[in-house]
Amino acid sequence: MQKALEAAAAGQAPPQRNPAGAGSDPAASAKDIPQVTITDVAPLSDDDPSGVGLAIAGLPLTLGGIVGGVLTCMGIRSRRMRLVGTIVYGVVGGLALALIMQTWFGILQGNFGINALAIGLSIATAVGLINGFVSVIGPAGIAVGAVLTMIIGNPIASLNQPKEFLAGSWGDIGQFFVPGAAGTLLRDLSYFPDAPMALQWWVLSAWLAVGIALILVGHVIAHRKAHTAAH
């Protein structure tokens, strides 16, 4: 600063500072930047390069199961036939969604049959839970099943991010609900086929067993009430 003031007083131009790197060759500087090669462990599908489709795949599974549960429990009066309707809806829904998500949109990868089985099991589980609660406690069971799968299970399902990103143990807890188990199962089937998936299969099967058990319990209760009323 002192030199600049003295130069200005003498009528001379102040000395100019040469910024770091000024006058250097940009091409040479670019060569000094290390080049990093990125290799995807499991490349995403060309039809779903951002992975968004797979991330939101759990939502139609959950909504499809809830809609199926409402349709079957409201349209079928016999509790035993609701059990049949649960299985049929799961089979048809699994095949239909697998066709849409794998062959149409290209979201899912891997074996079509196993993907259809996983989707069908997920849908049948949600349908069975709603039918089970309705068979035991009546129409209010629709709300119970919807809250259990959509309101509680869906936000902690870790469909949009790894389960480790959720606070505390919520990511691990979410894997024991239908949306979390279904989403993880489909992700592993598509991109990590060698990963252990027994937990997801068992979780979905256990929830389906709970729904079937509730349907049968409701059938027994209704049969006893009818028998008591008759006598």
The answer to whether the beta carbons of residues 158 and 101 sit under 8 Å apart is no
**Cα angle for residues 119, 124, 125 (degrees, 5° grid):** 100
Q: Domain for residue 34, yes or no?
A: no
The answer to whether the beta carbons of residues 211 and 122 sit under 8 Å apart is no
* Residue 50, pLDDT score: 67
Q: Where do we find the tokens 């060309």?
A: 46
Q: Domain for residue 17, yes or no?
A: no
* Residue 7, pLDDT score: 47
Q: How many domains does the chain have?
A: 1
Q: Domain for residue 36, yes or no?
A: no
pTM (predicted TM-score) = 0.78
Query: Quick one: tokens of 46?
Result: 């060309």
Among 33-42, 140-149, 211-220, the minimum mean pLDDT is found in 33-42
Q: Domain for residue 48, yes or no?
A: no
Query: What does the alpha-carbon distance between residue 183 and residue 185 come to, in Å, rounded to a whole number?
Result: 5
Q: Domain for residue 92, yes or no?
A: yes
Nearest to 59 by CA among 186, 163, 207: 186
Give the number of other Cβ atoms within 10 Å of residue 141's Cβ.
21
Domain that holds residue 93: 59-230
Tens digits of residue pLDDT in 91-119: 999 999 999 989 888 888 889 999 999 99
* Residue 231, pLDDT score: 65
